[in-house]
């Protein structure tokens, strides 16, 4: 694909000719603002893998360089000086709230700075460590040691830490003496027994609660529920398979009904039909209607195709199938979430229960044994059997006997009450409390290193929090708004308004208002003099074409302010625009071609003609600008084949005659050998010949004063040629209605 070094290079191609592929390469290689474009390998190949590459020849300061671009690597910095414009990279953008805003080139330094700040802040916050507090059975809640441990923070000093964990030889002697005193006291032995019995009661109560909880969960795993879940999943799968088979109807083009691009096309056509073409009528309108895309009457095939399209979009079987799969998985997860105690714990608790009631202990062990066995079988079948027939039946769950635990806990409580009656005066409790205090303090001393480590983490985290809190993105946003408003906005506004005037868009009363958010300073597009409600956005008022014109005006105004004349690339710049704006933009880009290399991708033949005409008008003013045209074609499955020169409808008479001469010499031998092929080609050549005759009238006889086929206007500057024709020549021209 060659590009002229000077002037304008127009890459023309019909839809599907491969034009977008070249444009994507330039957008990615030149680091266009939009980063969502991707280049895929050949999806029709046996192994559609690989990294996209391209070789670009660059001339910088009269020196040519070959740059190899790889899709998985950062592009060469030289290429980033080339500016790209298309519908997705436009600086007039629509944000998540659908409001139109504008970000000048270079002004995104604040956004980039904010991104760096956010990254640094995130890195700092990632270094903040979770603090796991010390849990020690000897440090009982209510003791002074416990309270000191809870009070430790980044403000705790080394001196406070030393005092808090102090332990002396005298403390050690006191603890030993008081523990001996407790051992010699029968009353204290009773208290110990009460403690043991209380713990036993609590443990048995927890066991009862566990049996009750498991029984409740098991009661929800019924044959009816599993049968329903299997049947609903099977029905959803069958419905989905039917829908998929229906989608096998071959369509003329690939990707129908299964790609995001096709879905976007369908939704856009639907919106246009219901809001503009056929308001208040459901889409698609299949009777007495025109296709909203090609503007032709709908034939029988088109009607059937639109019917299939509608069924594709309204099909909910895949969503329902996914829902049923999630419901089935939720059932499996629910069963797996039922936790059964390990055998060691079961035996330990069983021994505790047996000390009170052997029969109850047997029930307890049997309950968990059967539950564990049946759950394992159920989980295995749910995961491995895909049909209800193979799954079988839900096993019988053991009976919930948790209510019978009440008898055991009552017996234990009765025993505790009996022991309490035999206790001595309350002074004995003071002894126990003192022992607990000493044990807790000694435990602090033993955990000195752990406590010091925690204090270090507290202090380090405090520093990290302070550093992270000092990084404020909002400050960058405010400063960016101030800088842009003070230094860039006046020049940008003038250039922007000048471009709107050149493009004939002054009837759109827009202005740019600086604003900042999340470190990014943009210019919000607002309608001057408009009275709108608080929820009405500019994008709700402007059309897509008007938004495009504003985008191009912003793009060109930035070029006017940019201190360089680097190349620019535009992909379908006049998409969604009428012929008036198309002509204005063509004229403006032609003038831009006087200053820099301009590369334009388009499938709009009228736009191509407008560019050539604008170049001709500049030439008459003594400002010639070259317009080089490369045409892309698709031959079979191969797209992106470059053919030098203009497409047929844009060619001058001499080029058409040369092409016709080639066709005649190519097919004239078929007259004797293949009459059917010969007649077919002759018919085609005849049509081209007739178009060439019409071109002869326009270009040669009337010197292109009137261009009838594409540009509905006349060129007054060429009347002088017709005026200078001899009277004899004029008499030979017969103009009839």
pLDDT grade, residue 736 (50/70/90)?
very low
Three-state secondary structure call for residue 55: strand
Alpha-carbon distance of 21 to 23, in angstroms, equals 5
Class of domain 1-82+566-640: alpha beta
Strand boundaries in 567-692, DSSP class E: 568-571, 598-602, 627-635, 638-644
447, two tokens:
């955990």
Mean pLDDT of 404-412: 83
pTM of the full structure: 0.47
Q: How many residues does the chain have?
A: 737
Mean pLDDT of 541-548: 83
Encode pLDDT of 302-350 as tens digits.
888 887 777 776 667 777 878 888 888 888 888 888 877 788 888 888 8
Alpha-carbon distance of 607 to 697, in angstroms, equals 22
Q: Which residue has the higher pLDDT, 382 or 93?
A: 382
175 contacts 445 by C-beta, under 8 angstroms: no
Alpha-carbon distance of 79 to 69, in angstroms, equals 10
What is the reported pLDDT for 130? Answer: 87
Encode pLDDT of 675-694 as tens digits.
888 888 888 888 888 878 87
What is the reported pLDDT for 590? Answer: 93
590, two tokens:
């032609």
What is the reported pLDDT for 182? Answer: 60
Cα-based angle 504, 507, 511 (whole degrees, multiple of 5): 100
628 contacts 612 by C-beta, under 8 angstroms: no
- How many helices and strands (H and E) does the chain possess? 26, 14
User: What is the CB neighbour count within 10 angstroms for residue 533?
Assistant: 5
Three-state secondary structure call for residue 367: helix
Measured torsion, CA atoms of residues 116, 119, 120, 125, in degrees rounded to the nearest 10: 160
Pairing state between β 713-714 and 83-85: unpaired
Q: How far is CA 598 from the centre of its chain?
A: 32
287 Cβ partners below 8 Å, 6+ apart? none
Q: Which long-range contacts (CB under 8 A, 24 or more apart) does 315-318 make?
A: 315/243, 317/236, 317/239, 317/240, 317/242, 317/243, 318/240, 318/243
Mean pLDDT of 521-537: 69
572 contacts 87 by C-beta, under 8 angstroms: yes
Task: Find the range with the poorest average confidence among 106-115, 204-213, 419-428.
Answer: 419-428
Mean pLDDT of 138-149: 88
What is the reported pLDDT for 728? Answer: 47
Encode pLDDT of 615-668 as tens digits.
999 999 999 999 999 998 887 778 888 877 788 777 777 778 888 888 888 888
Q: What are phi and psi of 523, to 5 degrees?
A: -120, 115
516 contacts 478 by C-beta, under 8 angstroms: yes
Q: Is the pLDDT of residue 503 over 80?
A: yes
Encode pLDDT of 23-56 as tens digits.
888 888 887 766 667 788 877 777 777 788 899 9
pLDDT grade, residue 517 (50/70/90)?
low
What is the reported pLDDT for 184? Answer: 45
Q: State whether the Cα torsion 505-511-517-520 is positive or negative.
A: positive
Alpha-carbon distance of 299 to 294, in angstroms, equals 12
**Closest by CA position to 40, among listed 32, 31, 27, 51:** 51
What is the reported pLDDT for 619? Answer: 92
What is the reported pLDDT for 380? Answer: 85
Q: Which long-range contacts (CB under 8 A, 24 or more apart) does 193-198 make?
A: 193/419, 194/416, 194/419, 194/420, 197/412, 197/415, 197/416, 197/419, 198/416
Please state the domain extents for the chain: 1-82+566-640, 144-205+413-468, 220-402, 651-737
Three-state secondary structure call for residue 527: strand
Q: Is the pLDDT of residue 72 over 70?
A: yes
What is the reported pLDDT for 529? Answer: 77
pLDDT grade, residue 731 (50/70/90)?
low
DSSP designation for 54: E
User: What is the CB neighbour count within 10 angstroms for residue 386?
Assistant: 12
Alpha-carbon distance of 285 to 234, in angstroms, equals 36
Task: Find the range with the poorest average confidence among 74-78, 422-426, 455-459.
Answer: 422-426
403 Cβ partners below 8 Å, 6+ apart? none
What is the reported pLDDT for 427? Answer: 59
243, two tokens:
């829908």
Helix runs in 32-108, H state only:
none
**Closest by CA position to 716, among listed 635, 628, 613:** 613
Measured torsion, CA atoms of residues 673, 679, 680, 684, in degrees rounded to the nearest 10: 130
Mean pLDDT of 191-215: 83
Three-state secondary structure call for residue 357: coil
Alpha-carbon distance of 456 to 190, in angstroms, equals 44
**Closest by CA position to 23, among listed 643, 458, 568:** 568
248, two tokens:
């096998």
Of 106-110, 153-157, 202-206, 238-242, which has the strongest mean pLDDT? 153-157
What is the reported pLDDT for 515? Answer: 63
pLDDT grade, residue 246 (50/70/90)?
low
527 Cβ partners below 8 Å, 6+ apart? 509, 510, 538, 541, 542
Pairing state between β 510-517 and 100-102: unpaired
91 Cβ partners below 8 Å, 6+ apart? 33, 102, 103, 104, 105, 551, 554, 555, 558
581 contacts 503 by C-beta, under 8 angstroms: yes
CA distance between the termini of the chain: 45
What is the residue-averaged pLDDT of the chain? 80
Three-state secondary structure call for residue 167: coil
pLDDT over 70 percentage in the chain? 82
What is the reported pLDDT for 615? Answer: 92
């Amino acid at each position: 694909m060659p590009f002229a070094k000077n002037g304008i290079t127009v890459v023309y191609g019909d839809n599907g000719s491969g034009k977008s592929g070249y444009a994507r390469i330039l957008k990615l290689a030149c680091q266009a603002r939009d980063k969502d474009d991707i280049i895929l390998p050949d999806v029709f190949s046996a192994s559609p893998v690989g990294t996209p590459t391209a070789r670009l020849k660059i001339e910088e300061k009269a020196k040519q360089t070959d740059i190899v671009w790889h899709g998985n690597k950062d592009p060469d910095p030289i290429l980033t000086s080339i500016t790209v414009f298309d519908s997705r990279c436009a600086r007039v953008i629509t944000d998540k709230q659908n409001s139109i805003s504008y970000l000048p080139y270079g002004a995104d330094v604040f956004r980039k700075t904010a991104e760096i700040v956010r990254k640094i802040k995130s890195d700092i916050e990632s270094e903040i460590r979770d603090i796991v507090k010390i849990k020690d059975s000897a440090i009982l809640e209510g003791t002074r040691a416990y309270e000191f441990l809870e009070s430790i923070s980044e403000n705790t000093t080394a001196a406070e830490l030393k005092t808090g964990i102090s332990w002396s030889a005298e403390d050690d002697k006191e603890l030993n003496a008081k523990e001996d005193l407790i051992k010699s006291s029968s009353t204290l032995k009773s208290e110990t027994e009460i403690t043991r019995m209380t713990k036993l009661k609590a443990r048995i109560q927890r066991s009862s609660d566990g049996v009750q909880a498991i029984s409740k969960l098991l009661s929800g795993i019924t044959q009816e529920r599993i049968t329903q879940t299997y049947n609903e999943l099977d029905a959803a799968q069958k419905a989905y398979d039917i829908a998929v088979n229906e989608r096998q109807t071959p369509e003329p083009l690939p990707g129908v009904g299964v790609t995001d691009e096709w879905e976007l096309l369908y939704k856009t056509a639907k919106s246009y039909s219901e809001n503009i073409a056929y308001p208040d009528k459901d889409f698609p309108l299949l009777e007495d209607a025109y296709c909203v895309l090609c503007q032709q009457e709908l034939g029988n095939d088109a009607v059937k195709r639109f019917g299939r399209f509608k069924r594709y979009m309204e099909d909910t079987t895949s969503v329902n199938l996914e829902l049923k799969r999630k419901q089935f998985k939720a059932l499996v997860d629910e069963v797996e979430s039922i936790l059964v105690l390990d055998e060691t714990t079961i035996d330990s608790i069983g021994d505790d229960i047996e000390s009170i009631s052997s029969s109850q202990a047997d029930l307890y062990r049997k309950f968990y044994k059967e539950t564990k066995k049946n759950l394992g079988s159920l989980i295995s079948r749910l995961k491995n059997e895909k049909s209800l027939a193979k799954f079988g039946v839900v096993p019988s769950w053991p009976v919930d006997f948790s209510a019978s635990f009440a008898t055991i806990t009552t017996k234990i409580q009765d025993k505790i009450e009996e022991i309490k009656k035999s206790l001595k005066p309350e002074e004995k409790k003071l002894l126990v409390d003192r022992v607990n205090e000493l044990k807790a303090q000694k435990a602090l001393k033993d955990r000195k290193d752990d406590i010091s480590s925690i204090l270090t983490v507290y202090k380090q985290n405090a520093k990290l929090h302070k550093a992270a809190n000092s990084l404020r993105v909002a400050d960058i946003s405010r400063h960016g708004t101030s800088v842009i408003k003070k230094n860039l906005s006046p020049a940008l506004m003038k250039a922007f308004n000048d471009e709107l005037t050149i493009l004939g868009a002054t009837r759109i009363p827009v202005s740019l208002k600086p604003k900042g958010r999340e470190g990014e300073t943009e210019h919000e597009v607002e309608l001057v003099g408009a009275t709108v409600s608080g929820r009405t956005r500019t994008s709700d008022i402007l059309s897509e074409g008007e938004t495009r014109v504003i985008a191009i005006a912003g793009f060109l105004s930035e070029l006017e302010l940019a201190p360089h004349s680097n190349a620019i690339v535009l992909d379908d710049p006049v998409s969604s625009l009428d012929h008036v704006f198309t002509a204005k933009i063509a004229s403006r880009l032609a003038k831009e071609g006087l200053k820099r290399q301009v590369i334009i991708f388009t499938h709009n033949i009228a736009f191509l003609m407008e560019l050539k005409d604008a170049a001709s008008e500049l030439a008459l003013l003594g400002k010639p600008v070259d317009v080089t045209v490369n045409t892309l074609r698709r031959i079979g499955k191969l797209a992106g084949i470059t053919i030098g020169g203009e497409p047929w409808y844009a060619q001058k008479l001499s080029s058409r005659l040369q092409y016709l001469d080639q066709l005649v010499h190519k097919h004239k031998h078929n007259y004797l050998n293949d009459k059917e092929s010969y007649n077919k080609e002759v018919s085609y050549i005849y049509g081209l010949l007739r178009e060439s005759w019409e071109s002869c009238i326009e270009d040669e006889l009337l010197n292109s004063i009137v261009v009838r086929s594409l540009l509905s206007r006349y060129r007054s500057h060429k009347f002088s040629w017709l005026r200078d024709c001899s009277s004899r020549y004029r008499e030979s021209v017969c103009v009839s209605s």
